[in-house]
Amino acid sequence: MQEPTAHVPDRWDPEPRWPALIAILAVGGLYLGLPANLTVGPRWLFPATVIGLLIPTVISHRTGKHNLNKLFGFTVTGVVTLAMIISVALLIKALPSHKESPTELLISAASLWFTNILVFALWYWRLDAGGPHRRDSRAGHPEGAFLFPQMTMSPEAKASADAELWTPNFVDYLFLSFNTSTAFSPTDVPVLARWAKVLMVLQSLVSLTVLVLLAARAVNIL
């Protein structure tokens, strides 16, 4: 008697984009919470630029213009990354002068630390396995830059967990980014691609820099 084979659904839902949209808007909100000496230009310039880039990004996705959507997506991610790097550099420059009060320093460090998590989660999400559109175009997630636990499950285990067509979404990359900024390692998700290892090194470096600066200033205050 032939054993029954696991049923693999022939349809799957495309990955939602709204979590990444919220993450980008959150970066803009965190930027507004920074002191004036850690920002460049008028306070409204960065949020206006981000929103101005998000509008065509959403429209191009809705209309199915994937190459244009990819271009705008990388542009807005690059803008928020550049803003974060500039703010961290300004924090390093301003720290010896003691321009910030302890409260402002704590708010600045927390804002930049959370921004670091969101920014690199966006990069992982946009680059892994060709990006969200490429991941949507195939069933399941057989390969990528990160080895998620679901990718190592046997077909029987996937069938019992209803994960035959499992694919990562933004929350998975956010979790990965959070672990990298806290534990300075990917924890349960091994990294396979060299570009991903380089990004994780950069993320850990930014996170460590912010935490070390905060600790140094706290010791100086005490």
Contact between residue 58 and residue 73 where contact means Cβ atoms under 8 Å apart: no
Contact between residue 158 and residue 164 where contact means Cβ atoms under 8 Å apart: yes
DSSP, res 7: P
Give a yes or no: residue 53 inside a domain. yes
Give a yes or no: residue 13 inside a domain. no
Contact between residue 182 and residue 120 where contact means Cβ atoms under 8 Å apart: no
pTM score, whole prediction: 0.88
Q: How far apart are CA 115 and CA 41, in angstroms?
A: 19
Give a yes or no: residue 1 inside a domain. no
> Counting every residue, how long is the chain?
222
Residue 222 has a pLDDT of 46
Give a yes or no: residue 84 inside a domain. yes
Contact between residue 127 and residue 111 where contact means Cβ atoms under 8 Å apart: no
pLDDT of 86 over the 70 cut = yes
pLDDT of 2 over the 70 cut = no
pLDDT of 97 over the 80 cut = no
Band of the pLDDT at 98, cuts 50, 70, 90? low
Q: How far apart are CA 125 and CA 61, in angstroms?
A: 16
| Total domains in the fold of the chain | 1
Give the pLDDT confidence of 5-64 residue by residue, as tens digits.
444 444 456 788 999 999 999 999 999 888 888 888 888 899 999 999 999 999 999 998
Q: How far apart are CA 205 and CA 218, in angstroms?
A: 20
Give the pLDDT confidence of 196-217 residue by residue, as tens digits.
999 999 999 999 988 887 777 6
Give a yes or no: residue 168 inside a domain. yes
Give a yes or no: residue 35 inside a domain. yes
Q: How far apart are CA 143 and CA 63, in angstroms?
A: 28
Q: What is the extent of the structural domain holding 57?
A: 18-221
Higher pLDDT: 156 or 129? It is 129
